[in-house]
Structure 1
Amino acid sequence: MEHEQDSEHQELQDRPSKSQVKRDMLALQALGKRLVDTSVERLKRLNLEEKLLAAILLAQRTTSREGRRRQVHYVGKLMREAPAQEIQAQLDAWDKGSATETAHMHRLERDRDRLLASDDHLTPWLEQHPSVDIQAFRALIRAARQEAKKNASQPADHMPQRKHYRALFQAIKAAYDEKNEQQPSDPPTT
């Protein structure tokens, strides 16, 4: 008799608390919400169970607030059977990659703005990117500056021209891409 009580007591201690169960459930619902906010292309790459994918797609199409909330709740319930840690890891990897891409684009835009603002930034930039055709690059900067002056003199309701502005961005991006290709990915081991 005493042995049975000890085993029941041990079994109760081994179970997660109600609070822990609720935290886990809320975490799965939050992950389900992230899946609902994820693009269809990425959802397909996750290889989700058909029933879960259908529920997510339905939640994405649902326009009523209450209906969407209930559908997201259902997705969270279905997440109990899904490999949540794998899904979480993949979503985090995509988010990190996205943040890295955004930071890279912001750096390219800053370089473009600095090059357009002053020639003082051109020489150091060219030293970092020696493979760039200097004459063609200078011509792009001059054209983008002239384009900006012309746009400034246009009326406010006039659509500004961005051809050379965009071309300069693409040239900067190509220079960075070429520089990254030339750098070895792993340092040589000795």
Structure 2
Amino acid sequence: MRRKVDVPEIEEEIEWVSKSEMKRDSLALRKLGETLVKLEPHELAKVPLDEDLAEAVELAHRLRGKHEGLRRHMSYLGKLLRLRDVTDIQKALAGFEHKTTVANVKFHKLELWRDRLIKEGDKGVNAIMSEYRQLDRQKLRQLARNGRKEMAAGLPPAAFRELFQYLKANIKEEE
């Protein structure tokens, strides 16, 4: 007589993943590795990397001129990232992107103010002075007037740049 052995049923569901989805995930992690390699050293120091990943990124920096070697190494870096939980790394990179976006928005706003000052003259000066009281009205009027003269004469935009630099130095946004 044979004994019937109770085999415990596995209650976990095995999620089926297509080969295409695995390739997409792999490619995304490889791009994450490329992003890590493109970071500046001071930014890279803020990203939580373990020792193996840090060494791999450092080696990728040394392989920059060697095309095929760098390509293979980027694949290896993607493999290392597949073996790890990358949520902390992605959060750190998202923080860098947010700071860049905020800086771009501020830069664009300053450009708009500069263009408005040159285009509108005293109206623009009054508008910016109502929002930013710390600015020097006389300096703004002088820079805007010089910028208009340069544009009319077709000269290089020295006062245009100087006005932008003045705004950039004196307008501090709350972050």
Please state how far the C-alpha of 1:77 moved relative to its aligned partner.
1.3
Please state how far the C-alpha of 1:93 moved relative to its aligned partner.
1.2
Matches within 5 A, 1:105-120: 105-119=107-121, 120=123
Q: Give the distance between the partners of 1:124 and 1:107, measured in 2 at CA.
A: 14
Provide the residue aligned with 1:19 in structure 2: 18
Please state how far the C-alpha of 1:87 moved relative to its aligned partner.
0.5
Query: How large is the Cα RMSD of the aligned pairs?
Result: 2.8
Relative to the length of structure 2, the TM-score reads 0.78
Provide the residue aligned with 2:53 in structure 1: 52
Please state how far the C-alpha of 1:127 moved relative to its aligned partner.
1.5
SS at match of 1:6: coil
On the 8 A contact 1:52/1:78 being kept in 2, the answer is: yes
Provide the residue aligned with 2:167 in structure 1: 172
On the 8 A contact 1:29/1:75 being kept in 2, the answer is: yes
Amino acid at match of 2:78: G
Aligned residues: 168
Q: Deviations over 1:59-86 (max 9, x none)?
A: 2433344332221111111124544101
On the 8 A contact 1:144/1:165 being kept in 2, the answer is: yes
On the 8 A contact 2:33/2:81 being kept in 1, the answer is: yes
Amino acid at match of 2:133: P
- More off after superposition, 35-44 vs 83-92: 35-44
Q: Give the distance between the partners of 2:111 and 2:104, measured in 1 at CA.
A: 11
Q: Give the distance between the partners of 2:31 and 2:16, measured in 1 at CA.
A: 20
- More off after superposition, 84-93 vs 128-137: 128-137
Provide the residue aligned with 1:142 in structure 2: 145
SS at match of 1:170: helix
- More off after superposition, 96-105 vs 126-135: 126-135
Q: Unpaired runs of 5+ in structure 2?
A: none
Q: Give the distance between the partners of 1:130 and 1:45, measured in 2 at CA.
A: 37
Provide the residue aligned with 1:87 in structure 2: 89
Give 1 or 2: higher helix fraction: 1
Amino acid at match of 1:167: E
The structure 1 segments of at least 4 consecutive aligned residues displaced by more than 6 Å after TM superposition are: none
SS at match of 1:45: coil
Provide the residue aligned with 2:105 in structure 1: 103
% of aligned pairs identical? 31
